[in-house]
Amino acid sequence: MYPKNLSSLIPISCRAIIFGRGGYYQTFKATPTLSYSKKFKRIYKLKKRSDSKSLIVLVDNDVRLQRTVEEVPEVAWDIMDYSNKPVTIIYDNPKGIAKSAVNNDDSLGIRVVKDTFCKKLISKLNKPIISTSANISGEKQANCFAEISQEIKNSVDHIVNLRQDESEPKQSSTIIKLDPSGLIKIIRE
């Protein structure tokens, strides 16, 4: 179902629209380079979003998650294992991620993806990827490819040619903040 050569689908340096279990997202690699502040500015400008609102990071597996944060609390594993929908967990003390992606309080929202294509893409890039919903800030999130505004589609470097005909609505992720003391705060259900 998916091409073996993912590089032919998405040039590594570009912003792209990809599909995941939680909907459609704009993405690019999350590790720091000199050009990253330009990429972040471009995303925020396209979304018409304040840069005080952070983006999230997608990882493909538990090992990459553990490389991306100082500590994964035990409760995080339980939340991910038992959730029946995508879960983004906000962790403290991320490491190896572009500073532009990290919140002012040194926290970062991270999701371990379950979608096969997203897993393969992140694995191929061998880096976490930055993600944000493919919509203008404040507007309804796209539940299917047809709902993504033409403005967004025209502004990205690449659109992955997968699942564009699907019309079944996708669930947004639950967002949970984990406090170092063990408290769980649900940001979005």
Structural domains in the chain plus CATH codes: 6-188 (3.90.870.10)
Q: How far apart are CA 46 and CA 184, in angstroms?
A: 32
Q: Which two tokens stand for residue 74?
A: 């035990």
13, pLDDT greater than 50: no
5, pLDDT greater than 80: no
How would you list the strands of the sheet with 56-59, edge to edge? 158-159, 16-20, 23-29, 129-133, 56-59, 107-112, 87-92, 174-178, 184-188
Query: What pLDDT band is residue 146 in, cutting at 50, 70 and 90?
Result: confident
176, pLDDT greater than 90: yes
Query: What pLDDT band is residue 4 in, cutting at 50, 70 and 90?
Result: very low
pTM of the complete model: 0.81
Name residues whose C-beta falls within 8 Å of residue 29's C-beta, 6 or more positions apart in sequence: 12, 125, 127, 128, 129, 130
Query: What pLDDT band is residue 76 in, cutting at 50, 70 and 90?
Result: very high
Instruction: Give residue 27's pLDDT.
Output: 53
- Give the chain's mean pLDDT: 77
Lowest mean pLDDT among 15-24, 78-87, 99-108, 135-144: 15-24
